[in-house]
Amino acid sequence: MDKIIKRTHTCGELSLDDLEKNVSLNGWISKRRDLGGLIFFDLRDRYGITQIVFDEKKNDYSFNIAKKLSFEDVIGISGIVIARPKEAINDTLATGQIDIEVNDIVVYNESEPPPFDINNRNSASEEHRLKYRYLELRTKELQHSMLLRHQSCLEIRKFLSNLDFIEIETPILMKSTPEGARDFLVPSRIHSGKFYALPQSPQTYKQLLMVSGFDKYFQIVKCFRDEDFRADRQPEFTQIDIEMSFVEQDDIIELGTNLTRKIWKQIVNVELPEAFPKLTYKESMEKYGTDKPDIRFDMQLLEFDQYIFDSSFDTFKNILSSKGRVKAIKCPNASMYSRKIIDELTDWLKTYYNAKGLAWMKCSDNILDGGISKFFDNSLKSKIINDLSISNDEIIFIIGDSQDIVLSALGALRLKLADRENLIDKTQWAPLWVVDFPLVEWNKDHKRWDALHHPFTSPNLEDLELVDSNPGLARSLGYDIVMNGYELGGGSIRIHDSKLQAKIFNLLGVDDQEANEKFGFLMNAFKYGAPPHGGMAFGLDRIIMLLTGSAQIRDVIAFPKTTSAMSLMDDSPSFVDQEQLNELGLKIKEKK
């Protein structure tokens, strides 16, 4: 164990140019082929694979050591670069023209049989791979993800630094605030009974930095939200956090566009358009049923209210008279949609999106047929076909319900149908901005207005009167950037006036005392020369996920958690000693 063979090359670089050279390599045994008197190893490091060969007749010292070695042993070797016989050249390998004929070898660490095949990530379930994450990180997929993540961060830092942004670290232990997601709490030992929270985002700090005069700030920073998780959501995740002073919404949108273009150009060599399309929140909801539309394909939601009044379909008439909505979506290959398949779609919409049903009509021979077509007379059906440009062998699905349900159910159906019909060009990138978000939304459970973005978001100054008269209609200066149906990031122009901020708190039902307790420090800061400012934050993990072509955020985080927020590798969270609890003045309640 005392000897180390220092590598002269990595496992990905030797070629015929290096013939006859005496070289040394370090790496892991990735494959082993034992032919008796001749043994081949594929030696792997993060740069590549080089085949090394042990010949009993030429060097029986290293041969005898190699005889005992197997998968994932770590070794160092020295030897001569030799050309492979013509018939043994491997074109699939960058180093496939050569071998290293080994004459010295050191075994640094023998491996137990690995719990799964590092060469084949699918040789084990995800659960199993997460338990041995440090081994999964040896796979070429995860090595690639980590490298790409690193390169992306470099490009981001370079891009922003060149524009005079500076990266400033903000606290990880901060004040718990009532708004937004559930906080992860950290008990204070020194102040028994008090808690810090881990930041859901450095929102308040970056606004304070604007007051401090750092007019262009950014930070690549961990954020924490104690909610339930999904394929694209983890309890801790990384944001590219940005804030600027003396700017308007369009300045941030331009910056966000350019940053996104830079990343895509540098990392995957894709030229995104100079300006991304902009949709208002309202347009997005009406056309796509979501505020993060995938616009790689069209298939927009169609207005259908206007045909209901002249029909004899009372169910939908009743929905309209109780302020509901009726919208439709048009889908090709009607003949593929049997009763059984439509029933399955209906059940799915009922289960997940609270739809009460899924109506439909098929177009054949220029007439609408089947489903609810009997409630529409012939001239009305012709009008529908003409208005909505329905072609033969298309089916329209129709949902009538409250507006929320119609939009979310049809939005989900749109994605489902696109998938079924293969309408999405997977090689395409479709970025866009969604703007003019509502300032607040009505919270039915608590009977109050909640901020849609966060309470520091400025109302659109044109809508200031609405804030008093009809808050639900007031637009904010909030915006999201969306790529291929994923929310990549979002931000807003902030309130920098303590009077306006007080007014918004008032609207949100946060009284003066509470506002002062929770956000007094920010309100105070705004009394001392707060510049107009705004910013945004990108979800770094989601960006990397898209760039690597993965649908799982876990694939781009070195040590991710499961959907129940556990780490299978180190088995956290875990219980702690009674003594630790005592120090913190905590007592665990029995769960009933």
Partner RNA sequence: GGGGUGGUAGUUCAACUGGUUAGAGCACCGGCCUGUCACGCCGGAAGUUGCGAGUUCGAUCCUCGUCCAUCCCGCCA
Half-sphere exposure of 174 (CA within 13 A, CB side): 20
Stretch near RNA under the rule CB under 7 A, chosen from 148-156, 467-475, 519-527, 557-565: 557-565
Q: Which residues of 159-194 are buried (b: 16+ CB within 10 A; e: fewer)?
A: bbeeeebeebebeeebebbeebeebbebbeeeeeee
Which one among 115, 332, 370, 532 touches RNA, defined by CB under 7 A? Answer: 115
Q: Mapping DSSP to helix (H, G, I), strand (E, B) and coil, where does residue 246 land?
A: coil
Q: Does 16 bind RNA (CB under 7 A)?
A: no
Nearer CB in complex with RNA: 204/373: 204
What is the rounded distance in angstroms from the CA atom of residue 278 to the CA atom of residue 479? 10
Element (H, E) at 371: none
CA distances from 447 to 285, 334, 444, 469 (A): 24, 44, 5, 17
Q: Does 568 bind RNA (CB under 7 A)?
A: yes
What residues between 384 and 443 interact with RNA by CB under 7 A?
A: 408, 412
Which one among 15, 109, 125, 524 touches RNA, defined by CB under 7 A? Answer: 125
Q: Does 175 bind RNA (CB under 7 A)?
A: no
Which one among 213, 564, 579, 589 touches RNA, defined by CB under 7 A? Answer: 564
What residues between 367 and 386 interact with RNA by CB under 7 A?
A: none
Q: Mapping DSSP to helix (H, G, I), strand (E, B) and coil, where does residue 120 land?
A: coil
What residues between 451 and 510 interact with RNA by CB under 7 A?
A: 451-455
Q: Does 346 bind RNA (CB under 7 A)?
A: no
Half-sphere exposure of 3 (CA within 13 A, CB side): 9
What residues between 80 and 109 interact with RNA by CB under 7 A?
A: 82, 84-85, 87-90, 92-93, 96, 99
- Output phi, psi for 269, to 5 deg: 55, 45
Count Cβ atoms below 10 Å from residue 291 Cβ, excluding itself: 19
What is the rounded distance in angstroms from the CA atom of residue 476 to the CA atom of residue 467? 10
Q: Does 274 bind RNA (CB under 7 A)?
A: no
Q: Does 203 bind RNA (CB under 7 A)?
A: yes
Q: Does 549 bind RNA (CB under 7 A)?
A: no
Task: State the minimum distance, in angstroms, from the CB of residue 472 to RNA.
Answer: 14
Question: Which residues, at least 6 apart from 38, have a Cβ–Cβ distance to it below 8 Å?
Answer: 53, 54, 55, 56
What is the rounded distance in angstroms from the CA atom of residue 462 to the CA atom of residue 477? 10
Nearer CB in complex with RNA: 390/537: 537
Number of residues that bind RNA (CB under 7 A): 71
What residues between 42 and 61 interact with RNA by CB under 7 A?
A: 42, 51, 53, 55-57
Nearer CB in complex with RNA: 248/404: 404
Q: Does 586 bind RNA (CB under 7 A)?
A: no
Q: Does 155 bind RNA (CB under 7 A)?
A: no
Nearer CB in complex with RNA: 35/190: 35
**340 alpha-carbon distance from chain centroid:** 34
Which one among 227, 298, 511, 512 touches RNA, defined by CB under 7 A? Answer: 227
Q: Does 167 bind RNA (CB under 7 A)?
A: no
